Structure 1
Amino acid sequence: MARINDVGGVEGFGPVDTADDSEPFHADWEARVFGLMNALRAQGIFNLNEFRDAIESMPPGEYLAASYYERWFVAIRTLLERKGVIEPGELDD
């Protein structure tokens, strides 16, 4: 079963922007999410396969509406809840 991120051959998403972007992050929070993911992975809380699966398991509408690092943050929250590190809904505010 294809997931929302598997759009190979699907039309209607517009052209792919191939311009190089010299900035890895566009806001401070993106850099923090990047660091948080790497720190949690280094601690063995989750691995890259679990992280990728959490992103790809997002509901289609939520996935398409989210930016790259918003997807990362959703995946981190999902995995921390799944692993019992935080309570469900603890980060809702």
Structure 2
Amino acid sequence: MGGMEGFGAVDPYDDGEAFHADWEARVYALQAALLRRGVYRLDEFRDAIERLEPSVYLQTSYYARWLAAIEDLLDRKGVLERGWAGHG
């Protein structure tokens, strides 16, 4: 999606915080741990983000895209099945 125009100006008064909610920090930590453990490689993670449907990509936040990519990778690699939460 890089190079797209029409999303407005960058806010010069942004507080510069890396995380705007606790769950974003957890997604960051999860991604770092999965990379460190060799569950997937960084290029696979980037590819999973790039494979998101354009409408999903444009409607979700930065770390929501990360989470969607992590879920996809864990599902494709057989680590977790989609919908595992709350089962069992």
**Same fold (TM > 0.5):** yes
**CA deviation digits over 1:14-38, x for unaligned, max 9?**
2233445332111110000000000
- TM-score, length basis structure 2: 0.86
User: Displaced runs of 4+ in structure 1, greater than 4 A?
Assistant: none
**Identical-pair percentage:** 56
Unaligned runs of 5+ in 2: none
Aligned to 2:52: 58
- Calculate the aligned-residue CA RMSD, in Å: 2.0
2:11 aligned counterpart, secondary structure: coil
Deviates more, 1:14-23 or 1:61-70: 14-23
Aligned to 1:33: 27
Q: Whose RCO is larger (CA < 8 A, sep 6+)?
A: 1
